[in-house]
C-alpha cells in the first residue's frame, strides 16, 4: 500500500507522449492520481488502449488511479481549407461567414474572405455587435450585419488559420445540445470501459448536468459528472451547476477566450470558492506548466500559478499538453508533485486551510447531509485539538471521506472501503488516502480494520491518537453519527514469558475467547467465534482448541511444553504468566499479542 502525504491531487492528460507502458508506469509512480482521456481527439480504439493500460499498470503497481473521460461537448468548427493548408486573414479584411460548407479562403481584391461554420442557426441568431472567435481566439471577427444568410464580419486582427478550427461566440449563447450523438456514443463507450468520471465540456446551465445524469441512468451507470466551466454562462450559473454536478473544472483555456483574460484569476477563485461552499471537488486546469511541453523545467510564473491554485484550496491540479504531447511527461508530474508538497508544508498554507473552514457547505445543500456535515466538521476540529496523526473513516461509497476532505484537515483522511470503484473515485478528493479492507460484519471489526490500516500505512504509530469518524452501528440510517478518539496500541497487559512456533509470525490479532474450561472454549468458538484463547492454566485438555486458534494468553503456567505447542499449531503465538488475564480480557475484545515484546495491545496493531 502506498503512503501518500501530498493532499492536492494530480490529474494527467494522456496522449501520444504517454502511449507506452514505461511512461505511464513512471507517471503513476511520480504521483498521477487521475488519468484524463480527451475524447475531442482520437478514436475509441486508441482511448480504449489508453484506459486499459492505466488499469493494468495500476493493478501491477498496487496504486489506484481514477479514469476521467473528457467529452468533446457542443462545439462549432470552421470548414476545410483547400488541400488542408493555411490561409491568412488580415486585419480589417471583410469576412463572409456562411453555413454552406464553403472552403476557407483569404480575401482577394474586392472579394471578402470566406469562412464556413458548422452552426446552421448562425445567420438567424448572430447580430451586429456580436463577435466570432476562431482558433482559440487567434482570429477575432466582429459582426457587421447579416444579409441573405451571410454573416458579414470585419477581422479585428491578422491571423493564419487552418481547417476545422474551433469557434467561440461572444455576446450570444448558441444553445447547442449539451450532448451530440457522438458524445452519447463516447459516454456509452466510457461506461463500458468503467471510467470513474465524465468531464462534461461547455456546461452553461444546471439542467445540462441533469440531462447527462439522466442519460447515464439510462445506461445503468452511476458515473460521476464533473462540470467543465468554459464560458460566461457557466460562470454566471456556477452555484447552481455545482449543486447539480459531482464537481467542477476550471477550464481556463476556453474561459480565456470567452472572458477578458485579466478576469481569469478572479473567476478561478470564484469557481473554487463555489465548489467549497457546495462541498464538491474542483480541478484547476490548462497551461499550468505549459513550458514543460518543450522544456525540462517550468517558468517561475508557472510555478507561482500552480502554487496559487493550491493556496486557493483546489482539490486537484491538471496537466494537459505537458503529459499528452510534451517532451517531459514524467518530469512534469514530478514537478507538480514537488510544488504541491512544498506549498502544503508551509505554515501559510496550513493557516489558509483553517481559515476557509467556515465557508465550507455554506450554500444550500441536501438537508439529509446536515448531520454528516456537522459530525465531519467536529471530527476535523477534534483531530486538530488532540493533535491526532490521522482521521480514519470506514466508508462504502466514499461520501464521508468527501465531507471530511472539504474541511481541509491537517491530518490525512484514511478512507477504508471494500469498494474498488469508491477507491478510484476518492483519488480526486483532497487529502484522502483510499485504503482497501473487506467489509466488516460488525462495528468492532470495522474499528479494528481502521486501526490496523492506520498502523500499516505508517500514518500512525503506537501510542499515537487517531480520530474515527463513522456511522455506528453499521446498520444506522445516519451516514455519520460517531466521532471517537482512539489511542493506537494501548497496552492491556505485559507478560514475563512467551513464544512463537513460526519466526515469521510473532504477532497475531483477533478476538478473545475467555474460557474457564476446554468445553467452555469450544462452546464460545461455536457461537461467537474468536481467535485468541485466554485461560488461567493451559492444560493438555486445551490441545484441540490450540490447534484452531491463532494465539494463547495464559494467566499462570502452560502445562504444554513449547515444543508441543509448536507441533500442535505451526503458526501459534503464546504468552504466559500474565496476571489477572481472565479479569482484564473479556470475550469478544479485539487484541494484538506480540511474542517478541511480550505485550497484549488493545485492538489491531
Catalytic residues: 36, 77, 228, 286
Give 522-537 as a DSSP string. Answer: HHHHHHH--SEEEESS
Angle, helices 300-312 vs 347-355, to 10°: value is 40
In this structure, how many other beta carbons lie within 10 angstroms of the beta carbon of residue 89? Answer: 23
Q: Can you tell me the distance from the alpha carbon of 422 to that of 428, in angstroms, rounded to the nearest whole number?
A: 11
Three-state DSSP class for residue 55: helix
Pairing of β 599-602 and β 491-494: antiparallel
How deeply is 300 buried, as exposed, middle or buried, from its count of CB atoms within 10 A (0-12, 13-18, 19+)?
Answer: exposed
- Buried b / exposed e over 24-57, threshold 16 CB at 10 Å, is bbbbbebbbbbbbbbbeebeeeebbebbebbbeb
Q: Can you tell me the distance from the alpha carbon of 130 to that of 383, in angstroms, rounded to the nearest whole number?
A: 54
> How is the beta sheet containing 465-470 ordered, strand by strand?
432-436, 413-417, 390-394, 465-470, 482-487
Q: Which three cell numbers stand for residue 399?
A: 461520501
Please state the φ and ψ torsions of residue 90, each to the nearest 5 degrees: -95, 155
Place of cell 492528460: 13
- Buried b / exposed e over 346-356, threshold 16 CB at 10 Å, is eeebeebbbeb
Amino acid at each position: 500500500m502506498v503512503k501518500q502525504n501530498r493532499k492536492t491531487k494530480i490529474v494527467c492528460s494522456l496522449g501520444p507522449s504517454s502511449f507506452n507502458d514505461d511512461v505511464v508506469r513512471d507517471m503513476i509512480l511520480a504521483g498521477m492520481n487521475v488519468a484524463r482521456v480527451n475524447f475531442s481527439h482520437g478514436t475509441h480504439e486508441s482511448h480504449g488502449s489508453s484506459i486499459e493500460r492505466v488499469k493494468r499498470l495500476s493493478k501491477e503497481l498496487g496504486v489506484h488511479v481514477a479514469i476521467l473521460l473528457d467529452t468533446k461537448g457542443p462545439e462549432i468548427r470552421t470548414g476545410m481549407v483547400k488541400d488542408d493548408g493555411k490561409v491568412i486573414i488580415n486585419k480589417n479584411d471583410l469576412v463572409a461567414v456562411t453555413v454552406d460548407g464553403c472552403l476557407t479562403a483569404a480575401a482577394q481584391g474586392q472579394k471578402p474572405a470566406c469562412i464556413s461554420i458548422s452552426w446552421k442557426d448562425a445567420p438567424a441568431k448572430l447580430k451586429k455587435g456580436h463577435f466570432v472567435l476562431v482558433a482559440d481566439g487567434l482570429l477575432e471577427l466582429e459582426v457587421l450585419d447579416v444579409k441573405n444568410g451571410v454573416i458579414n464580419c470585419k477581422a479585428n486582427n491578422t491571423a493564419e488559420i487552418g481547417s476545422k478550427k474551433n469557434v467561440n461566440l461572444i455576446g450570444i449563447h448558441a444553445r447547442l445540445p449539451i450532448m451530440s450523438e457522438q458524445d452519447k456514443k463516447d459516454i456509452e463507450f466510457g461506461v463500458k470501459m468503467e471510467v470513474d468520471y465524465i468531464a462534461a465540456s461547455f456546461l452553461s446551465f444546471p439542467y445540462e448536468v441533469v440531462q447527462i445524469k439522466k442519460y447515464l441512468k439510462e445506461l445503468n451507470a452511476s458515473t460521476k459528472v464533473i462540470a467543465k466551466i468554459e464560458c460566461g454562462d457557466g460562470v454566471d450559473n456556477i452555484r447552481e451547476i455545482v449543486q447539480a454536478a459531482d464537481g467542477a473544472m476550471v477550464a481556463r483555456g476556453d474561459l480565456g477566450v470567452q472572458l477578458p483574460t485579466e478576469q481569469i484569476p478572479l473567476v478561478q477563485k470564484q469557481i473554487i470558492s463555489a465548489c467549497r461552499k457546495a462541498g464538491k471537488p474542483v480541478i484547476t486546469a490548462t497551461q499550468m506548466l505549459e513550458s514543460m511541453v518543450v522544456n525540462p523545467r517550468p517558468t517561475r510564473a508557472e510555478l507561482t500559478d500552480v502554487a496559487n491554485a493550491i493556496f486557493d484550496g483546489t482539490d486537484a491540479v491538471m496537466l494537459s499538453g505537458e503529459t499528452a504531447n510534451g517532451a517531459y511527461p514524467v518530469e512534469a508530474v514530478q514537478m507538480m508533485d514537488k510544488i504541491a508538497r512544498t506549498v502544503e508544508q508551509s505554515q501559510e498554507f496550513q493557516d489558509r486551510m483553517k481559515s476557509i473552514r467556515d465557508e465550507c457547505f455554506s450554500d444550500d445543500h441536501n438537508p439529509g447531509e446536515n448531520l454528516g456535515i456537522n459530525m465531519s466538521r467536529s471530527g476535523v476540529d477534534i483531530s486538530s485539538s488532540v493533535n491526532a496523526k490521522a482521521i480514519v473513516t470506514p466508508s462504502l461509497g466514499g461520501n464521508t471521506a468527501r465531507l471530511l476532505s472539504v474541511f481541509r484537515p491537517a491530518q490525512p483522511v484514511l478512507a477504508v472501503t471494500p469498494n474498488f470503484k469508491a477507491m478510484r473515485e476518492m483519488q480526486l478528493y483532497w487529502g484522502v488516502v483510499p485504503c482497501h479492507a473487506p467489509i466488516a460484519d460488525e462495528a468492532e471489526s470495522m474499528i479494528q480494520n481502521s486501526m490496523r490500516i492506520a498502523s500499516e500505512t505508517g500514518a500512525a504509530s503506537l501510542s499515537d491518537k487517531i480520530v474515527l469518524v463513522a456511522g455506528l452501528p453499521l446498520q444506522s440510517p445516519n451516514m455519520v453519527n460517531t466521532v471517537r478518539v482512539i489511542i493506537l496500541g494501548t497496552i492491556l497487559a505485559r507478560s514475563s514469558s512467551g513464544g512463537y512456533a513460526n519466526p515469521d509470525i510473532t504477532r497475531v490479532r483477533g478476538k478473545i475467547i475467555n474460557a474457564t474450561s476446554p468445553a467452555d472454549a469450544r462452546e464460545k468458538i461455536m457461537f461467537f467465534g474468536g481467535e485468541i484463547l485466554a485461560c488461567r492454566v493451559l492444560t493438555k485438555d486445551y490441545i484441540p482448541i490450540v490447534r484452531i486458534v491463532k494465539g494463547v494468553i495464559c494467566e499462570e503456567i502452560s502445562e504444554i511444553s513449547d515444543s508441543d505447542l509448536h507441533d500442535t499449531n505451526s503458526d501459534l503465538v503464546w504468552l504466559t504468566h500474565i496476571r489477572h488475564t481472565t479479569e482484564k480480557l473479556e470475550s469478544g475484545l479485539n487484541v494484538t499479542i506480540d511474542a517478541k515484546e511480550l505485550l497484549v495491545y488493545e485492538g489491531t496493531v
